[in-house]
A and B are shown apart, each in its own frame.
Chain A
Amino acid sequence: MSFPQLQKFSIAAARRFSFVFYIEYSSTRTSLLPSLPEKYDFRNTNPSAQQMSSINKHEENPQITPFETPSNDDFFEKMLSAIPNCCWPNLSSSPKFSWDANLGHHTALKSRDRFCPAVDDPDATSVDCHLDEAALLDSASKLSDHQINGVDSSVPKSFLLQQQLLFSKGVGGGVGAEVFSGGYSGLLALPLSLANGDSVDSRLLDDRSKHGSAEALYNGIPGSLHGNGETFHHRKAGRLPVQNYETPTVTVQIQSHGGASPGGTGTVLQKQRVRARRGQATDPHSIAERLRRERIAERMKALQELVPNTSKTDKASMLDEIIDYVKFLQLQVKVLSMSRMGGAAVEAPLVADISSQVADAGWRRNAAQTAAVGANDNLSVAEHQVAKLMEEDMGSAMQYLQGKGLCLMPISLATAFSTTTTYCNPITDNPHHQSSSNGGTSGGGNNHNNPLLASNRETPASPSLSALTVQSSAVGKGEGGGADAHVNDSTYAPKPC
C-alpha cells in the first residue's frame, strides 16, 4: 500500500475510531470496561514510558517519521489547543501511559510487517507520549462531542498519529481498532484489528451505537479510512502534509462506505453524516436498483447454464447466445413437426424459410451439439428405408431423412468430409439427387438439416460412411446436377463429417 493510501486509510480510521478511543479510555478509567478478552485487557499491564518507547521502537518510523516527527509537536499543540475541557478526568501520565503502553503492547503482539513501519519512532512517540495521551484523550472527548465525523477536524493530527502508533503496533484485535482512529501507516493494522476485534468493538461501541460503524469499518476498511480521514482532514489546519488533503474527497465516500456496509443504511456513527458506500447508494431507489441488477445477473448465470457450450460471460454476447438458442429450439420444433408429414414440395417454402432463419442465426455450433438424431444405431436400416422411399417418392424420402436429422449429400462431398473431419455425424449420403426442380428444395432441405440435426457424435463414422457411399452409389445414379447447390449448402453445416 502506498503511503498516501496508508495515509488515507489511517485518517479515515482515525475519524472513525477516535471516539472509540475515547470510550475505551473512559471505560478504562472508570473500570467499567467489562469482560474484555484477556489479550485486550491492557489495564493490568504495567505501563511505563520505557515500555512504551521500547514498543514504539520496534515499529518503524519510516512511514510515520516524515509526518510525525516534524509535525508531531505542532500536531499535539494543535490538539491540545483545540480540545476543550473534556470529560477526561484525572488524566495522569501513568494511566495514560499504561493505557497507551498496554495498547501499544497489545498491538505489538499482533504486529504485522505492514504495521511495523507504523510506529517506529520511539523517540518521537515516547517523547510525545504524555502529550499524546492528553491530546488523545482530549481529542477523543472532543470528537465525541463533535460527532467525530466531518464536523471539524477536532482530532489533531498528533492524536491520530498516536492512535495509529498504538494501533499499528499490532492491531490487538478490536482494541487496536478502537484506538486507532487515525494514523498513517498504522491504519494498515486497522483491517486486522477490525477483523479480530469484533466482539471487543461491539462491546465498546455499544453505548455509542458505533457497532454499526465498526462493522462498517470491518467491511469497508479501505473505504472507511477515507470516511475517517475526512473529518480528520478538516482538523488539519494546514499542518499536515499535503497528502492528507487529498483524502477528503475519498474519505467522504468511504465514510459512508463503511456506514453502508452494515446494512446499507448508511448511518454508522451517531450523528454521522450518511454517505453512500463507494459504488453503492443508500437511498431506497438505488438499493432496489442494485437488487434488481443482482437478480438479473443471477438469472443470466442460470441461463448460461441452460444454453449449451457457451463460454461467453459478457452480458451482450450471452444474450445473443440465448436468443440464438431459443430460435434454434423453436426451429427444431417446427422441423420436427413437419418431419412427420407433408411432402418435399410442400415443405420447400417452409424449409426455405427455416434455412434462411438458420443462416441468419448462424446457429451452427449448437446445432451440431444438440441436434443429435439417433440415426447412428440403425443407420443401415435408415439407409434401406431411404432407398426404398426414394424409389417411390423423393419427397417422402426427404421427409424420412429430415425426420431422422439427416440430409442428402453428394458422395464426393461426403468422402471429403469423412477424410478430413475429426467429429461428424453419420450423414446418409446419397448421390442420387432429385430432379432439378426438386434439387433446389432438397438442397435447401439438406441445408438446414445439416445445421439443425447434425448429431454430436465425436467419432467419425468413416467406415460406415464409406459403406454408405458404396451402397448408395450402387442404389442410385449419382448426378452432379445438385452438387453445386449441395456444396454451397454444405457451408452451412457444422463440422462436416
Chain B
Amino acid sequence: MNPHPSSCSNGRSIRTRFARRFLRALKKIGSKGSSSRPSPRDISWRCRRVKIAADASMASAVGPRRVWSRTMLNMLRSRSHACLHASRLGNSRRPGADRHAVGKRKRLVLKRKLPNRLGLNQVNQLRRLVPGGEAMDLDILLDETAHYIKCLATQVKVMRSIVDYCSA
C-alpha cells in the first residue's frame, strides 16, 4: 500500500491500483451497452458511469486513509443507492442530479466575483472543490488538497494513456 499518506509519491502503486480498478469498471460498462448507435441518453449515462467509475476506482485505490477519498466513497455509495431507488421509480432522477450539479457549479462561479477578504473566498471554494473539505481545518485542507491534486493528476494520466491506447 502507499507508505506515504501525505503524498502520492508512490504514484506507481496508486497508479496501478487505480488503473486496474478502472479498467475493470470500464469492462463492466462496456459490456452493458453494445449497440452501435446508442441513444444520446445512453451515451450520457455511460459517460457518467465512466466518470463515476473513475472517481470510485481512484478513491478506493487511495483507500480510507484520506478524508477526501472517504468522503468520495460515501458520496458515491449514497448516490448509487439513490440511483438504485430512482431506477426503481424511473430513470428520471439521473439527469436531474446532473443538472443539479451543473447548477451548483454555476453558483460557485458567481460567488467567485465577490470581493476577496483574507483569501476566505478562495478557501471556501477550495473546500467545495475537494470532497469532504467542508469540515476541515485549513492546514488539513491544504494537505488533502495536495494529495487530491496528485491523485487527480495520476487519474488523468492513466485515463489519457488508456484513450491513446484504445484510439491508436
Interface set of A (CB-CB < 8 Å, partner B): 292, 295-296, 299-300, 302-303, 306-307, 315-316, 319-320, 322-323, 325-327, 329-330, 332-334, 336-343, 345-347, 350, 353, 356-357, 360, 370, 373-375, 378, 381-382, 385, 400, 403-405
Closest residue of chain B to A359 (Cβ to Cβ) is: B109
Closest 10 CB pairs of A and B: A342-B43, A299-B142, A346-B40, A319-B122, A329-B152, A337-B50, A346-B43, A337-B51, A336-B159, A295-B139
Looking at the assembled complex, report how far the CB atom of A76 sits from the nearest CB atom of chain B, in whole angstroms: 55
Main secondary structure of the interface of A (DSSP, over half): helix
* Closest chain A CB from B109 CB (angstroms): 5
Give B122's nearest chain A residue, CB to CB: A319
Expressed in whole angstroms, the Cα–Cα distance for A315 and B55 within the complex equals: 29
Q: B150 in the interface, Cβ–Cβ < 8 Å?
A: yes
Inter-chain CA distance A354–B115, complex, in Å, is 25
Taking a contact as CB atoms under 8 Å apart, the answer to whether B146 and A338 are in contact is no
From B59-67, B77-85, B86-94, B160-168, give the one contacting chain A: B160-168
Choose one: A299, A337, A353, A381; the contact of B47 (CB below 8 Å).
A337
Cα distance A302–B150 in the bound complex, in angstroms: 11
Q: Which residues of B contact A382 (CB under 8 A)?
A: 167
Does B21 have its Cβ within 8 Å of any Cβ on chain A? Answer: no
Minimum CB–CB distance for B164 against chain A, Å: 5
In the complex, B75 has a CB within 8 A of chain A = no
Cβ-defined contact, B149 with A306, below 8 A: yes
Instruction: Say yes or no: A326 contacts B129, CB within 8 Å.
Output: yes
Answer whether A322 and B156 are a contact pair too, CB < 8 Å, given A296-B139, A381-B168.
Answer: no
List residues of chain B with CB within 8 A of the CB of A319. 119, 122-123, 126
Given A326-B129, A378-B168; A299-B139 close (CB under 8 Å) = yes
* Chain A minimum-CB-distance residue to B39: A346
B155 proximity list for chain A (CB < 8 A): 329, 333
Residues of chain B within 8 A (CB-CB) of A292 are 137-139
Q: Which B residues are in CB contact (< 8 Å) with A330?
A: 129, 152
Interface residues of B in 125-161 (CB under 8 A from A): 125-126, 129-130, 137-139, 142-143, 145-146, 148-150, 152-153, 155-156, 159-160
Contact B126 A357 (CB under 8 A): no
In the assembled complex, the Cα of A325 lies from the Cα of B54 at a distance in Å of 18
**A340 contacts B142, C-beta separation under 8 Å:** no
B16 within 8 A of partner (CB): no
Q: How far is the CA of A414 from the CA of B95 in the complex (A)?
A: 37
Q: B139 contacts A332, CB within 8 Å? A: no
**B residues adjacent to A (C-beta < 8 A):** 26, 38, 40-41, 43-44, 46-47, 50-51, 53-55, 102, 105-106, 109, 112, 116, 119, 122-123, 125-126, 129-130, 137-139, 142-143, 145-146, 148-150, 152-153, 155-156, 159-160, 162-164, 166-168
Q: How far is the CB of B29 from chain A (nearest CB, A)?
A: 8
B104 to chain A, nearest CB (A): 11
A357 touches B145 (CB 8 A): no
Chain A residue contacts of B162, Cβ below 8 A: 340
Q: Which of A332, A360, A370, A405 contacts B109 (CB 8 A)?
A: A360
What chain A residues lie within 8 Å of B38 (beta carbons)? Answer: 341-343
> A326 near B139 (CB under 8 angstroms)?
no
User: Are the C-beta atoms of B167 and A400 separated by less than 8 Å?
Assistant: yes
Select which of B26, B130, B138 is within 8 A of A326 by beta carbon: B130
Chain B hits for A343, CB < 8 A:
38, 40, 43
What are 9 A-B pairs at a CB distance below 8 A? Answer: A299-B143, A303-B146, A316-B116, A326-B126, A332-B152, A334-B51, A342-B43, A350-B44, A360-B112
